Structure 1
Amino acid sequence: MTRYSMVLRGAALASALLITGCTAGSGGGSASSGDKVTLTFLTFETPNLDAKYWDAAIARASAKVPGVKIKKLVSPSADRTGYAKQLDSTGQFPDVMIGLNPAGFAESGKLAPWTDKELATYENPHANTYGGKVYQLPYAAQTTLVYYNKKDFAAAGIATPPRTYAELLDASAKLKKKGINPFVVGGGGKDSWADMFPLICTVATDVYKKTPDWLSQRGKGKVKFTDEAFVTAAQKVADLAGKGYVDRAGLSRSYADTEQAFRDGKGAMYPMGSWFSASADAKKPSFDTGVFAWPTDQGAPALPGVLGGGMTVSSKASDVPLAKKWAKAFMEDQKNLDAGVKADGLIIDIKGYTAPDNMGPVYKDTVKAYREAQKGEGIVNSFSQETGDGSLPPGMADKAAAGMQKLLSGRMTAKEFGAYMDEQWDKATR
């Protein structure tokens, strides 16, 4: 489950929109249907979260909230935020949305804030605030880890996962010497967001670990992307590619093809979001998959995490209280939560929730790594995935991904990448 992607052409809006029982031109906003209020619900589909998954979840929530009829809107890509912007520009802003990045929408009053009473069931109710208000239900955490091929590690004589960055480089060298590609990284076409994971990890270890509010400081002009800390993080990624530890020929792969490349044994390590754990358990590769956190220089934990991802409600919905009630019913339903855990490897952050006992080993190892980092105060922000105050300006995540393609391919140096990011920041905040 991701929040990135390409900007879609407005001309494709009507033809690309899928709505249960209707088309985009049928109104888009809330309307009454007999004794029911019709609400549009914007979601997305992935190989993990397909139409069957969403339809079942919608039905469960609707059964708990009489008087609501849901029209499902499906984003043509994983970028439901970009799609919501397009719908908003044509007067079709959805009533309820899941996984939306609230930035911009919250500040302009387009979203209804959640009250403390409505957030009482959440472990971290005030995660991702905008001006002190919460606009997205903080129901689940996701993190970025390194998934690795245990067979490849054994073949290269690597007994245990690396615990320091020096050990990561040593492991990469041993793998390459054995003729094994160390890292699988992709991000071609509309899936440029997928190339960000190595940088997400190095910014976590080299920037956010030392300065947790670094991006807020960037907003105040106290730091820049051309400063040593960020350039060092970018340089680590550039060096991995420059040493041949990242297969540059694979950078053009789509997200799905990149995952398949790892499954097919075309690389030993796969830096990726924790949602991969569900895929690895549901359809086990021909090898055992291990998990470790991208290591810092000294070995202290610095795991990039995102908490949120839940429902947002339009402030202009025809019945905001009913829309909120349905959104909470969807988000807090036990079967819906279990389905999200099984399909997308979610780490649920709702009080009293326990994951199903039959979850697979990769998911369990993923959760273990996350919880261990939590205990050691090792969870930091996830660069380009931040939400709430102190996040990237809207649109900059896509710019960062485009720059990463050049950094990884050797067409841009780390210093040039830092300058590029400062330039994009200035353009986005004028």
Structure 2
Amino acid sequence: MRNKPRAFRVAAALAAVVALSACTVGDNSSTVDGKQEVTFLTFETPNLTPGYWDAAIKRVTAKNPDITVKKLVAPTADGRTAYAKQLLQSGQFPDVMIAVSPAGFAEAGNLYAWQPDELKDFLYPTANPINGKYYQLPANTQTIPPIYYNKKMFADAGVTATPKTWAELLDASAKLKAKGMTPFVIGGGKDGFASSMILSGLVSVDLYAKTPDWLTKRRSNQAKFADPDFEKALGKFADLAAKGYLDKSAVSRDYAATEQAFLDGKGAMYPMGNWFAANADTKKPGFEIGVFNVPTEDGTVVAPAYTGGGMIVSAKAKNLDAAKKFALAFQLDKEQLDASVKADGLFPAIKGYTLPSDVGPVFKAGYELYQQAQAQEAVVHAFRWETADDGLLPGMADKVDAAAQDLITGRRTPAQAAAFLDTEWSKAG
């Protein structure tokens, strides 16, 4: 699937960024025109365009004229943590990073630990602890993944209700396939998470609903990927591929192309994080989009979600106070929060925050699903997306993606995929 090893590609991208930069991160200068400089690592997606980040930075610096920000961009949307590692190893660790997993960085003393008074404005200030400390601002909640669907395709295939049980999902998929439609749009390529979304949902709604601390148990070797409950989720995922409900050739398609394939009507269902709602509402394809939770065996409501994803700050930033000030100002600014809702479909986890009145129908539908799950106390962690003490070991998210791709293509059986994950876990530990 890949022509060159990941490390080579990331290193090459790093070299390109440094070469093109007028002022590298490694420069000794910590001020620009008398202002305190902060380096800020971002990433780009179809939702989060260069213009989105530039406008956000401008809003914050306009209110904090003593700070100037140098933007860096990760070479891939899903490779930002690996890229941050490359920058750290080359002595160019950014001052501020967004949506970069703190695992590994924090334990090595590379990150600033936020203090309780600095987290007072966040709804879930104790999210994602690492050894009892908090390194990532718990800025927003994301449901990962709801399943978006093409209402016209469902109607044309005779699917009259959104599936609530796994059997109903299989029945809907069979009807869609019988009509010559691709049931699920999936991807992969350089953005491996697009391959593992359904698997993430299955582990979350089937295993985590029963054993919410399963990953904590895995960290203490009280559980294994080869255990029956986890392997069952792998088996259900592999069954979708075996039945032809997943397009095996699509695992080389990157995230942007995967999203576009769904918007172009090339498949009926699209399992993706709630950030997709932003583009669903703005790009407005020629069909109506609905959304439902990943079905459970018995139809009970379970919603996988992750709260976090915010800024982390280098403990060794040249202008540490400025870096902290920028990070908090960015995450708490009302205009920025509204922009994140509209551009990336996020659910801000900020006290007193109210949604903009003009959010779109797909966003509203997904947000209502989340609120219903909250009311029923049916929100669980989103497998693969957790961070900190209850998350995967560093590097394991990529291994989950690889296992998912192998199940889709048939290169591994569920038992072999489970054994692979246990072996890689041992290496990562």
Give the alignment's TM-score, normalised by structure 2: 0.95
The match for 1:339 is 339
Specify the code of the residue in structure 2 equivalent to 1:77. T
SS of the aligned residue for 1:191 comes to: coil
Q: What letter matches 1:33 in structure 2? A: V
Q: Distance in 1 between matches of 2:345 and 2:120?
A: 24
Give me the identity figure in percent. Answer: 53
Deviations along 1:138-188, one digit per CA (max 9) or x if unpaired, are 111111100000001111111110111111111111111222211111112
Alignment correspondent of 2:184: 183
Residue aligned with 2:146, SS: strand
**Are residues 1:220 and 2:220 paired?**
yes
- Change in 2 beyond 3 A, CA 1:251/1:400: same
Deviation per residue, 1:52-101 (Å, 9 max, x gap)? 11111111111222321111111111122111111100111111111110
Structure 2 unpaired stretches of 5+: none
**Counterpart in the other structure of 1:239:** 239
Equivalent position SS for 1:133: coil
Aligned partner of 2:193: which letter? W
Match of 2:168 in 1: 167
**Counterpart in 2 of 1:31?**
30
Partner of 1:157: 158
Partners of 2:76 and 2:191 within 8 A in 1: no
Distance in 2, Cα, partners of 1:138 & 1:6: 29
SS of aligned partner of 2:272 = strand
Contact 1:6–1:398 (Cα < 8 Å) also in 2: no
Q: Deviations over 1:170-226 (max 9, x none)?
A: 1111111222211111112x1222101010011012211111110110111111000
- Structure 2 Cα separation of the partners of residues 399 and 378 of structure 1: 28
Residue of structure 1 equivalent to 2:93: 93
Instruction: Answer yes or no: is 1:106 the counterpart of 2:106.
Output: yes
Distance 1:41 1:35 in 2: 19
**Whole-Å separation in 2 of the counterparts to 1:370 and 1:112:** 31
Counterpart of 2:199, as a letter, is: L
2:249 alignment partner AA: A
Counterpart of 2:47 in structure 1 is 48
Whole-angstrom CA distance in 1 between matches of 2:251 and 2:366: 25
Letter in 1 for 2:69: I
1:116 aligned partner: 116
Between the aligned partners of 1:300 and 1:18, the Cα distance in structure 2 is 53
CA shift for structure 1 position 11: 3.8
Amino acid paired to 1:111: L
Q: 2:415 aligns to what?
A: 415
In 1: Cα distance, 2:29 partner to 2:279 partner: 36
Indicate yes or no: 2:28 matched with 1:12. Answer: no
CA distance in 1, matches of 2:367, 2:180: 32
CA distance in 2, matches of 1:150, 1:243: 22
Q: What does residue 272 of structure 2 align with?
A: 272
CA contact (8 A) 1:263 1:285 kept: yes
Output the TM-score relative to the length of structure 1.
Answer: 0.95
Q: Which amino acid letter does the alignment assign opposite residue 233 of structure 1?
A: A
How far did residue 34 of structure 1 move? Answer: 4.2
Matched position secondary structure for 2:296: coil
Q: Which whole-Å CA distance do the structure 1 matches of 2:142 and 2:249 have between them?
A: 28
Counterpart contact for 2:291–2:362, Cα < 8 Å: yes
Aligned partner letter, 1:22: A
Note closer, same or farther for the CA distance 1:23–1:125 as it changes in structure 2 (3 Å cut). same
CA distance in structure 2 between the aligned counterparts of 1:211 and 1:22, rounded to whole angstroms: 51
Residue aligned with 2:41, SS: strand
Residue type of the partner of 1:289? Answer: I
Deviates more, 1:280-289 or 1:37-46: 37-46
What SS does the corresponding residue of 1:129 show, helix, strand or coil?
A: coil
Unaligned stretches of 5+ residues in structure 1 = none
Query: AA paired with 1:420?
Result: F
Structure 2 letter corresponding to 1:65: N
CA distance, structure 2, for counterparts of residue 18 and residue 159 of structure 1: 56
The Cα of 1:22 is off from its aligned counterpart by: 2.4
Which piece of structure 1 moves more, 363-372 or 30-39? 30-39
Q: Give yes or no for the alignment of 1:369 onto 2:352.
A: no
1:323-344 CA-partner distances (Å, limit 9, x unpaired)? 1111111111111111111110
For structure 1, which segment, 398-407 or 290-299, has the greater mean C-alpha deviation from structure 2 after superposition? 398-407
